[in-house]
Structures are given as C-alpha cells and as structure tokens.
Amino acid sequence: MRTVRQLLEEKERRLIAIAPEAAVLDAIRLMAEHGIGAVLVMEGGRLVGILSERDYARKVILQGRSSSSTTVREVMSAPVVTVTPDHSSDACMQLVTHERIRHLPVVEDGRVVGVVSIGDLVKAVIEDQQEEIQHLHRYIAS
C-alpha cells in the first residue's frame, strides 16, 4: 500500500492557487488553463479553502450568481479536508468516499506540498491490486 508521499513522487508537483478575493471567473479560467478540477485558495501562504467545479456548478450557476462579480471566498469549500504525506492511499480513498470530495490537499509542517485527486487514488489502488495478483499468480505457479 502506497503512501501519499509516494503518490506525489510519481506525479508532476504543481500547486495551482488563487486568492480568496479573486473573481470566480478567474478561478474557472485558471482551472481550464491547467486542466484541473479544483484550485487551492491561498491567503498569505495559508490554505483557506478549495474551489472545485462542483462548487462552481452548485453555488454560482444554480444560484444564478455572476462569475465575474462573485468572489472565490463566497463559494469556496472551507474548512478544507487535508492529509499528510504519511497517509496511506487506502486511508485517502476512504476519506474521499466518506466526505464525498475529489481533491485532497497534502499538508506537511503547515505548508501545502501537493494535491492528490480521486483519480490518483484509483490509479494507485488498481496498480497495487495488479501487483498483488501477480504475486499470487507467481505463488500459485511455484
């Protein structure tokens, strides 16, 4: 079973963040530009929220708000569910399932060091299961 630290080592580490007073439209543009489904909301180097496509759909579009005049702070999810690099991928999978979220910021010593998505977790679980199956096949064949 892999740790979050191992998952982060296997992926490109880029932290895409926006200020809480920015317009939601700017956050959506940032997500589209980077091909991501959520953006960290940072204030003075501190994680204060996260804004996802789901937040946008439910709190802006469905409520008839303007993307250009609504601030990120008004619709972001906070407080943010976070994990540490020492969490296991299984523990993270349980957390995203229980909390019904898709992105987990990774915090170490009070600093955001990465983000793992449900896609990263599913990929890790599948790879771990394939490895276990291979071990079992070798054991049975010997």
Angle at 33 between CA 118 and CA 94, to 5 degrees: 10
Q: Do the Cβ atoms of 121 and 129 come closer than 8 Å? A: no
Please report the sign of the dihedral spanned by the C-alpha atoms of residue 101, residue 39, residue 23, residue 32: negative
Residues in the chain: 142
Distances (CA, A) of 95 to 3, 52, 58, 69, 102: 14, 17, 22, 33, 10
Task: Look at the pTM and tell me if it is higher than 0.85.
Answer: yes
Residue 137 clears pLDDT 80, i.e. is over it: yes
On the question of pLDDT at 135 being above 90, the answer is no
Cβ atoms 29, 68 nearer than 8 A: no
82-131 pLDDT, tens digit each:
999 999 999 999 999 999 999 999 999 999 999 999 999 999 989 888 88
Please give the pLDDT value at position 20.
98
pLDDT digit string (tens) for 36-78? 999 999 999 999 999 999 999 999 999 999 999 999 999 999 9
pLDDT reported for residue 142: 81
Count of other CB atoms within 10 angstroms of residue 57: 10
List of domains in the chain: 4-141 (3.10.580.10)
End-to-end CA distance of the chain: 24
- If you average pLDDT over residues 10-28, what whole number do you get? 94
Report pLDDT for 141: 87
